[in-house]
Amino acid sequence: GDIVLLTKPVTLTEGDRVTLATDVPLATDGTSKPEKLLYAVSLPPVHGQIEHINYPSMPISSYSQLDAVAQKVSNIHDNSHCAGRESLR
């Protein structure tokens, strides 16, 4: 089916951590099996990383919809000073 991905802006400042729950981003594929959705981080954050809470300090490149539902994935800012905006893809 068609995949729909809805995102909302997330602002991180130095040292912040934001949990990537089902609202950031929200994906559906029309199959009624959201537990099989897999998010791939194709462009990781420049000033930080995406982490699974069970493996702190280790960047991940993918996570499941179930991880998002369980609020086990975070975007961590690395404390660096940055002037620009950054987006997660």
Tell me the pLDDT tens digit for each residue of 16-47.
Answer: 888 887 777 777 787 777 778 888 888 888 88
Q: Per residue in 40-77, pLDDT tens?
A: 888 888 888 999 999 999 999 999 988 988 999 998 88
User: Does 85 have pLDDT greater than 90?
Assistant: no
- Strand-pair partners of 62: 40
Fill in the amino acid letter for 3. I
Q: Looking at per-residue confidence, does 7 or 66 come out higher?
A: 66
- Smallest Cα–Cα separation from 16: which of 89, 73, 62, 77? 77
* pLDDT confidence band for 89 (50 / 70 / 90): low
DSSP state string for 3-33: -EEE-------TT-EEE--TTSSEEE-SSS-
Q: Where is 70: in which H helix or E strand?
A: none
In this prediction the pTM is 0.76
